[in-house]
Amino acid sequence: MEIQERKMKVEKRQSVVLVPYPFQGHLTPMLQLGSILHSQGFSVVVAHTEFNAPDYSNHPEFVFHSMNDGLQGRDMSMPSLENMYDLNENCKAPLKNYLVRMMVEDGDELACIVYDNVMFFVDDIVTQLRLPSIVLRTFSATYLHSMLTILQQPEKYLPFEDSQLLDPLPELHPLRFKDVPFPVIDNTVPEPILEFCRAMSDIGSSVATIWNTMEDLENSLLLRVQEHYKVPFFPIGPLHKMAPSTSSTSLLEEDDSCIEWLDRQAPNSVLYVSLGSLVKIDDKELIETAWGLANSEQPFLWVVRPGSVSGFQWTEALPEGFEKTIGERGRIVKWAPQKQVLAHPAVGGFFTHCGWNSTLESICEEVPVICRPILADQPVNARYLSQIYKIGLVLEATERSVIEKTVRKLMLNEEGKEMKKRVVDMKQQIVAGMQIDGSSHKNLNDLVHFISSLPS
Ligand code: UDP
């Protein structure tokens, strides 16, 4: 009944244009949002860069438009400030021309543009064309709140001394100086990075923000962030569970054969190891991780993304014969169907870099974690997972003996079992938020009404 009403409201099939930031952890939630909006009666157009273009065949319900990003031939394995600014500059004309064509030539009714906060150039275009826009935040409110707090008074936090690393960050409990949510060089954050983060955290003329998070998880910080932006906010996460489509959003080919391997493992016995789509480690850490996992004597499924070990193509740095030594007890793949892996009954723990998508996916499948944060929002998420939610153990060092001990603690000890109980409770809260009277469900209804009633 409710959905019927909504569909009538948007029966003209107003279009929503989505502008994702072309990295896996950002592209995925934007496509999931697209799937949600499409199911609510909107036409969904995805205006994407040529770099890391999504696979159209997985999303027949969307219209795709490719923008010339001018980044051909660049090393994009890690987003640099230069590349991110160039992306923002180069996509201006292609997006503007496309929107004008949609409105003038095709006569489309554009309800609004939803853009990833890293693609902040969109604000210029929508201001020129007088179109309403909404920002999608693909990370936690906690992270954004910590970022905004420091950006407002950087001199209060930066630079800091080595001796302060474990001291609390003022007003940002439970974060410490070592968790500062920016790239730190020589105990400070260079001004160009602060400048970029200011641009990224600014919502310009946007009329609302959408969040891949849940009120039940982050309500107080969401309210603090809203005080800052003063526009309606819609936490409608977890997007991967709210989205009706389960089509793959992967930029890399998923190795499904690991599911058959998981089928052969005992319930709750396997540690899944993945550091996401971007971070790199050195060969020393790869080797220590390998022996730490082997010595823990727990079965493990380990994603080693090609190019993720500095200076190597894939796993060449592993000791010769390592895979033979571990035999059937361990499996190494280039890229896994992560959500399916986490949902598998054999998986009992997740060794993660604590990216926000991985964090939500793990909680939703009731899997406690070992935190190995490296950059961006990961230290903040790790701190919350270990100190506030208490469903994660922080890896205190990357030596093999520490890895072995931490894996055993999570997978075999009482402490790990307590974490499992807590993550089961957290999952229940999330499920409640997705029910008909739950917060994410209600916020989604409000969002659909909000977009349908924007002046066109
Ligand atoms: N992922 C995947 N297969 C893998 C590793 C990761 O599908 O082998 C997906 C994972 O499910 C998540 C995304 O890649 O949705 C990673 O996003 P996250 O925010 O966790 O980290 P990022 O890659 O942005 O650092």
The pLDDT assigned to 106 comes to 81
Q: For the range 33-36, what are the long-range contacts, defined as Cβ-Cβ under 8 Å and sequence gap of 24 or more?
A: 33/114, 33/136, 33/210, 33/212, 33/236, 33/239, 33/243, 34/59, 34/62, 35/59, 35/61, 35/243, 35/244, 35/245, 35/247, 36/236, 36/239, 36/242, 36/243, 36/244, 36/444
pLDDT greater than 70 at residue 3: no
Distance CA 297, CA 377 (A): 31
Same domain, 317 and 408: yes
Find the CATH number of the domain harbouring 205. 3.40.50.2000
The pLDDT assigned to 5 comes to 45
Mean local confidence (pLDDT), 223-248: 95
Residue 2 domain flag: no
- Nearest 5°: phi and psi at 46? -110, 110
Same domain, 274 and 228: no
Distance CA 369, CA 423 (A): 10
| Sequence letter at residue 175 | L
Cβ contact 97:67 at 8 Å: no
Please give the helix or strand (H or E) that residue 5 lies within, else none: helix 2-9
The pLDDT assigned to 455 comes to 85
Distance CA 442, CA 434 (A): 8
Same domain, 176 and 127: yes
Same domain, 242 and 261: no
The pLDDT assigned to 389 comes to 98
Residue 380 domain flag: yes
Residue 226 structural domain: 15-248+439-453
Same domain, 391 and 427: yes
Mean local confidence (pLDDT), 192-209: 97
Mean local confidence (pLDDT), 263-285: 98
Question: What contacts 56, CB < 8 A, 6 or more positions away?
Answer: 62, 64
Same domain, 353 and 383: yes
Same domain, 68 and 211: yes
pLDDT greater than 90 at residue 13: no
Same domain, 288 and 210: no
Distance CA 84, CA 105 (A): 31
Active site residues: 26, 116
How confident is the model over 38-81, as pLDDT tens digits? 999 999 999 999 999 999 999 999 999 999 999 999 999 888 99
The pLDDT assigned to 16 comes to 98
Largest distance between two CA atoms of the chain: 65
Same domain, 219 and 265: no
Residue of the CA atom closest to atom 1 of ligand 1: 338
Residue of the CA atom closest to atom 5 of ligand 1: 276
Q: What is the mean pLDDT of the chain?
A: 95
Residue 4 domain flag: no
Residue of the CA atom closest to atom 6 of ligand 1: 276
What count of other Cβ atoms lies within 10 Å of the Cβ of residue 408? 15
Pick the closest to residue 362 from 298, 410, 306 (CA basis).
410
pLDDT greater than 60 at residue 9: no
- C-alpha distances (whole Å) from 384 to each of 197, 322, 377, 388 are 22, 35, 11, 5
Residue with structure tokens 């790869």? 286
Distance CA 423, CA 342 (A): 13
Same domain, 176 and 280: no
Question: What contacts 201, CB < 8 A, 6 or more positions away?
Answer: 117, 144, 147, 148, 151
Residue 168 domain flag: yes
How confident is the model over 145-191, as pLDDT tens digits? 999 999 999 999 999 999 999 999 999 999 999 999 999 999 999 99
How confident is the model over 347-383, as pLDDT tens digits? 999 999 999 999 999 999 999 999 999 999 999 999 9
How many domains is the chain partitioned into structurally? 2
List beta partners, residue 300.
271, 330
Substitution candidate for ligand 1 out of 357, 359, 362 with most atoms within 8 A of CB: 357
Instruction: Report the nearest atom of ligand 1 relative to the CA of 354.
Output: 20
User: Angle between the 439-452 and 215-229 helix axes, to the nearest 10 degrees?
Assistant: 40
Please give the helix or strand (H or E) that residue 144 lies within, else none: helix 141-152
Residue 82 domain flag: yes
- With a Cβ cut-off of 6 Å, ligand 1 is lined by 24-25, 28, 250, 274, 276-278, 303, 335-336, 338-339, 355-358, 361
The pLDDT assigned to 78 comes to 83
Q: Is 401 helix (H, G, I), strand (E, B) or coil?
A: helix
pLDDT greater than 90 at residue 456: no
Same domain, 81 and 102: yes
Q: Which residue has the higher pLDDT, 305 or 79?
A: 305
Residues of the chain with pLDDT > 90: what percent? Answer: 93
Identify the band that residue 245 occupies on the pLDDT scale cut at 50, 70 and 90: confident
Note the Cα 59 to chain centre separation in Å: 20
ipTM of the complex model: 1.00
Cα–ligand 1 centroid distance for 382 (angstroms): 15
Cα–ligand 1 centroid distance for 25 (angstroms): 6
Same domain, 238 and 329: no
The pLDDT assigned to 12 comes to 55
Cα–ligand 1 centroid distance for 364 (angstroms): 14
